[in-house]
Structure 1
Amino acid sequence: MFVLVNLKAYPSDPVAIATAAHEIADESGVRIAVAPQAAHLERVAETGVETWAQHISSVEHGSHTGSTLAEAVADAGAVGTLVNHSERRLRLADIDGALDAADRAGLETIVCANNPDQIGAAAALGPDGVAVEPPALIGGDVSVSQADPEIVEGAVEAATAVDDSVDVLCGAGISSGEDLAAAGDLGASGVLLASGVAKADDPRAALADLVEPLA
């Protein structure tokens, strides 16, 4: 299982969380990555943890003020990027362009979507993975794998029907080892989470609890 922790813009310590994630990944053998703010990418990557960007723009080098260039993200130490998170929605052409930019920079990609139909469409664009995240459950106390398991199963079926090499992650409300195990039982190959770690009183303990079923 792949555990991707999105720190969003929460008031957390990205280096402390990244250090804890790196240590727990080494101890447990579980693949754990952290996606910090773009300004923190280099500092997070220096901890040794697998580092992902939260977003990249569908642009090349040039006059694109305020854009997040894929090559700059890679230079900062990121190895992958989220695309089309529910809090950073893109038009279809921009999703496709961002995937091209990521490929150009050698970044792994996960495209986020709301439901199985969107997951199928996202998988057809050729990302490395997709993540199903019903917006109503994001940041909540109930995970999608518990509240609406049919969405996860449907997302896995939709992605597999298009391209069975595309990994499917389960997002929205993931916060515990029980949630992680449930996602795996439903066919997901990983989880995407944020507040369960970034807003935890003890992020290291939260991460340890999360991967405990896999350790």
Structure 2
Amino acid sequence: MKQLGLGLLPQEELKNVSPRSEQAIAPVTLIKTFLNLQQQQALLTESLTYPFEQPMVTVFGKQHPIPRKQVWFADDGCAYQYSSLLITPTPWPQGLLSLRNQLQQQLNVNTNGVLVNRYQNGSDSMGWHSDDEPEIEPNSDIVSISLGASRDFVLRHKATQQKLTLTLHSGDLLIMHGEMQQNWQHSVPKRLKVSEPRINLTFRKLVVGFHE
């Protein structure tokens, strides 16, 4: 397991930005191969049972399905709203509950929900956004874990528009520290050469009862 602060990433993982630029050093931590192959396969197998949905969002007055599938697992009282969608929590499956406990024990990260996104192939994507919804515990870390196909994860500084691209592989873990959402956006762009599915897990800590 290899842990790297973003400013210390190998040169081949830095694109479209000077590593000397202070504004290009986003407050994230990347841990390569946090999950071993056995853990990855177990979670991918379990994900086949998840009740994924593809909700509709309104863009410029028209409704469109989001370009991926998702499900929200969380504790009671942890409904989550973004892009005008209010998602009620689904009870935790055993594999994700065990992973949540692992994150707490090994990284001292406390969470009470995980948004699971399934990208069928490189045509599925995630647009530019910040995870700054008011129900997210202020200044809390968000932990992202990748499973399956490798995909580019792109960060963009809000003020300078500088970009940083990281290719996240199966088993990699990325911590987005609390202050990142204030100054940076992130996205998962289309990559049409990718033919295999990817599962992304983003563990978050919400204010319990915010939407009650």
TM-score relative to the length of structure 1: 0.30
Specify which structure has the bigger relative contact order, considering alpha-carbon pairs within 8 angstroms and separated by 6 or more residues: 2
Q: Which has the higher strand share?
A: 2
